[in-house]
Chain A
């Protein structure tokens, strides 16, 4: 009697032992699955924002060899968020050729942000980006000051279905063999540095030189060395030796001391950040700049320069050539507006890292507005082939085929007589965009493809 009643009840409520087990298993699997893969159940793309706010994820090095760059990037992001939300003087929003940003957030939603520390370590950077996407609901990840980190985070964003607007990343690979449909780079690359620097080095140091490379042992260092070797060897320089150095080595003395014995008369330091400050300072301490080799004055070249590094290296930077993405002393309207906003807020001029991060945030917001959608595929389509001006680098193209920006490149030199603690680099030449533009089938950029955009659905 009891058994019959129970069977009838179960039939009535459609509850069976197997059904319960099946539902339980499905529910368990659903709960166990990271939210990153389940966005499709509620919307067409990952982390679709609500009606009131949208969250951006700023993933910058707050510790480690590139921490100075990271701190400046974060300042720029905070300034960009302020401007997007209608605060401050609007900065480069007033000079930007696209006029869709109105200072009312992005698509009417207030811009909020979360931050992560990449520690200049790919694993840590991926973990912080993942946390910002999964826990904080970030719809776009941006930042970073290392190509190794940029490539790692770009891959993660591709898989997660969010846009990655790269910060400071200079390796060819970011938009070469490791390019991804969800990733976009405003910063220039080592190929462009090589193209811009070579004519200046030829004019100043001649064609009969012997070069010694010290190279940071990761993707950017290898890429930088390859580009510099290609363009210096093309103009007749001989490469005597190239030595890989660990990132964050601190003391480079044992790498620097063999340079003079090698017969080289130029040292090319493919180092950046704290490493570059240490290696350049130690190279000068070891008397390299005072030395005469092969009847010529010994010279040092730093292919990728930044003002923050110049400050750390102090007097040692004087007279040294390098290239840079942007410099605060540029006199175009966009640069002046940015320097004014940033300088008024923080009391000192922005670095090139700050500039590229600020611009990337505006470009993302602008693309969302033009696409009228936060869907990464719509945003990506709006960025592809986008031609713009007024953001400090002259007319610029976001090339659709590789998501790389093409614009003028600055060749700079450590200033001999600085007038202030910020006036450390002088612009020697603005290399036009046409000179640094390379074909999409350039051999150093082969081996990868964008693939298709991933909205996370």
Chain B
């Protein structure tokens, strides 16, 4: 029982990341009709926003501390962050400690700008081209973005820890009347799930309850008619691309304490997120979220040692097996709409 609860919890955080990336992918596909293979790179750029802010906050100058010696016996050189000079050591240390949550504010404008530039600068030239061309150009863009990040930050994972307040773990077992220490789950992973749900809720609310969202939904249903009514739907779709980029970026920012970011982390998630979109149903936002969480949990169960012993290697292929079964039984995916990508 404990094992099952734990694997569900395990699946929720990874599933949340899948859901957030897949949500953005579906938004872009639904609005612009573009299959965006650069979406994983947006997740990665978001994570590197956290790395960048953390480095900016930690920019230091060297001070010689005569009271201490270094490993060679010379007076120790101590790095003092500039932020200590500006705000005092205590508040400065707190700011550095909270670099990842603060990066949310830092990442939103950057990611929207990156998304808008991507759409206006490159992707809009490919709207009327076949999907294969769109896949090729966005995949190429993803590789370029990866290499740019690699050139600036190197190839190694960069540890980006969560604030001290979130480094512990939550005894879930004790809460539901089990023995203590049987179901323990780190605070940050729980926070990631809650954060993902808030973002998903906010995107749905934005589309459902605002005039802007209503126009976008109308545009998704019938772009031509909305255009004929005198509404500049292209501009709104560009903004939606920016929002989708921000959603992927925020997923990346918050994922950094779970897994140290590196330049190819986006690719690792991209392929699985596409499977999530297809399983959820092309163009279906709730389908993307549902499939993301479901496949995350399934992958987590498949990693249990009892299951691996039974079917070796199942943890590597489970998502693809499920995708095959769902596409055979429900060709449009779990919540797919008729007519999407069927022309």
Q: B126 near A: Cβ within 8 Å?
A: no
**Chain B 222-259 interface 0/1 with A at a Cβ cutoff of 8 Å (1 = within):** 00000000000000000000000000000000000011
Across the interface, do B159 and A277 meet the contact criterion of CB distance under 8 Å? Answer: yes
Chain A interface: which of B133-141, B177-185, B203-211? B177-185
Chain B, range 291-319, C-beta contacts under 8 Å to A: 299-300, 303-305, 308, 315-316
Q: A437 near B: Cβ within 8 Å?
A: no
Closest to B308 in A: A243
Across the interface, do A312 and B155 meet the contact criterion of CB distance under 8 Å? Answer: no
Q: A328 near B: Cβ within 8 Å?
A: yes
Across the interface, do A260 and B181 meet the contact criterion of CB distance under 8 Å? Answer: yes
Q: Which of these, B70, B72, B155, B260, contacts A278 with CB under 8 Å? A: B260
CB distance from B49 to the nearest CB of A (A): 19
A67 in contact with B169 given A257-B10, A293-B181 (CB within 8 Å): no
Chain B interface: which of A145-153, A163-171, A339-347? A339-347
Chain A, range 407-440, C-beta contacts under 8 Å to B: 419-420, 422-423
Across the interface, do A67 and B305 meet the contact criterion of CB distance under 8 Å? Answer: no
Docked CA distance A420–B181 (Å): 33
Closest to A291 in B: B181
Closest to A340 in B: B72
The residues of A that contact B186 with a CB separation of less than 8 Å are 282, 285-287
Q: B6 near A: Cβ within 8 Å?
A: yes
Q: A253 near B: Cβ within 8 Å?
A: yes
Q: A116 near B: Cβ within 8 Å?
A: no
Q: A49 near B: Cβ within 8 Å?
A: no
Q: A62 near B: Cβ within 8 Å?
A: yes
CB distance from B301 to the nearest CB of A (A): 8
Closest to B169 in A: A287
Across the interface, do A253 and B181 meet the contact criterion of CB distance under 8 Å? Answer: no
Docked CA distance A267–B176 (Å): 26
Across the interface, do A254 and B304 meet the contact criterion of CB distance under 8 Å? Answer: yes
A287 in contact with B72 given A251-B259, A254-B7, A254-B300 (CB within 8 Å): no
Across the interface, do B303 and A254 meet the contact criterion of CB distance under 8 Å? Answer: yes
Q: How many interface contacts (CB-CB < 8 Å) are there between A and B?
A: 91
Q: A292 near B: Cβ within 8 Å?
A: yes
Docked CA distance A260–B182 (Å): 6
CB distance from A95 to the nearest CB of B (A): 17
Q: Which of these, A258, A274, A277, A282, contacts B305 with CB under 8 Å? A: A258
Across the interface, do A261 and B72 meet the contact criterion of CB distance under 8 Å? Answer: no
Q: Which of A260, A274, A282 has the most CB of B within 10 A?
A: A260
Docked CA distance A349–B71 (Å): 7
Across the interface, do A261 and B3 meet the contact criterion of CB distance under 8 Å? Answer: yes
Docked CA distance A85–B76 (Å): 31
Closest to B170 in A: A287
Chain B, interface residues (CB within 8 Å), range: 35 or more
Across the interface, do B14 and A286 meet the contact criterion of CB distance under 8 Å? Answer: no
CB distance from A392 to the nearest CB of B (A): 15
Chain A, range 279-338, C-beta contacts under 8 Å to B: 282, 285-287, 290-293, 312, 314, 328
Q: A255 near B: Cβ within 8 Å?
A: yes
A339 in contact with B10 given A243-B308, A292-B181 (CB within 8 Å): no
The residues of A that contact B259 with a CB separation of less than 8 Å are 250-251, 278
Q: A68 near B: Cβ within 8 Å?
A: yes
Q: A241 near B: Cβ within 8 Å?
A: yes
Docked CA distance A246–B182 (Å): 25
Q: A94 near B: Cβ within 8 Å?
A: no
Q: B332 near A: Cβ within 8 Å?
A: no
Q: B94 near A: Cβ within 8 Å?
A: no
The residues of B that contact A419 with a CB separation of less than 8 Å are 68
Q: A63 near B: Cβ within 8 Å?
A: yes
Q: B161 near A: Cβ within 8 Å?
A: yes
A to B CB contacts below 8 Å, 17 in the list = A62-B155, A63-B156, A67-B155, A241-B305, A250-B259, A251-B14, A253-B10, A254-B299, A254-B300, A254-B303, A255-B305, A258-B304, A286-B185, A314-B159, A419-B68, A420-B68, A420-B76
Given contacts A274-B157, A292-B181, 18 further A-B contacts (CB under 8 A): A62-B155, A63-B156, A67-B156, A253-B13, A253-B189, A254-B299, A254-B300, A257-B3, A257-B9, A258-B3, A285-B169, A286-B184, A328-B71, A339-B71, A348-B71, A419-B68, A420-B68, A420-B71
Chain A residues within CB distance 8 Å of chain B: 62-64, 67-68, 241, 243, 246, 250-251, 253-255, 257-258, 260-261, 274, 277-278, 282, 285-287, 290-293, 312, 314, 328, 339-340, 343-344, 348-349, 419-420, 422-423
Chain B residues within CB distance 8 Å of chain A: 2-3, 6-7, 9-10, 13-14, 68, 70-72, 76, 155-157, 159, 161, 167-169, 171, 181-182, 184-186, 188-189, 258-260, 268, 299-300, 303-305, 308, 315-316
